[in-house]
Amino acid sequence: MQQPPADDEFVDRPSPRAPFPTHAGLDDVDPWIPAPPRHPLRAIWPWGLSQLSETLEVVALAILMFLAVRAVGQNFIVDGESMDPTFENNQLLIVNRLAYASFDLSWLPGVDNEAWRPFGEPEVGDVIVFAFPGDLDRDFIKRIIAREGQTVSIDNGTVFVDGVPLDEPYIEQARAGPFVGEPWDGDFPEQTVPEGMLFVLGDNRHNSFDSRQWGMLPEDLVIGRADVRYWPFDQISLVEHHHQDAAVTAELTATQ
Query: What digits encode the pLDDT tens for the residues 16-72?
Result: 555 555 555 555 556 666 666 666 666 666 665 666 677 778 888 878 776 666 667
DSSP one-letter code for 185: -
Q: Which residue has the higher pLDDT, 105 or 238?
A: 238
Helix (H, G, I), strand (E, B) or coil at 154: strand
pLDDT tens for each residue of 180-196: 667 888 999 999 999 99
Task: Check residue 118 and give its pLDDT.
Answer: 81
From the list 166, 124, 168, the residue with the least C-alpha distance to 146 is 124
Residues linked to residue 96 through DSSP beta bridges, in sequence order: 73, 225
Could you give the percent of the chain with pLDDT greater than 90?
A: 46
DSSP-based helix, strand, coil % in the chain, nearest 5:
25, 25, 50
Give the span between the Cα atoms of 179 and 72, in whole angstroms. 39
Task: Check residue 196 and give its pLDDT.
Answer: 94
DSSP one-letter code for 116: B
Task: Check residue 70 and give its pLDDT.
Answer: 65
Domains of the chain in sequence order = 76-97+125-255 (2.10.109.10)
Task: Check residue 38 and give its pLDDT.
Answer: 65
CA dist 152 → 88, 181, 237 (Å)? 27, 26, 31
Q: Report whether 141 contacts 204 (CB < 8 A).
A: no
CA dist 199 → 67, 79, 153, 158, 213 (Å)? 31, 21, 10, 15, 11
Q: Report whether 242 contacts 169 (CB < 8 A).
A: yes
Give the span between the Cα atoms of 81 and 2, in whole angstroms. 115
Give the span between the Cα atoms of 218 and 196, in whole angstroms. 6
Q: Does the pLDDT of residue 162 top 90, yes or no?
A: yes
Q: Which sequence positions are flagged as catalytic?
A: 82, 142
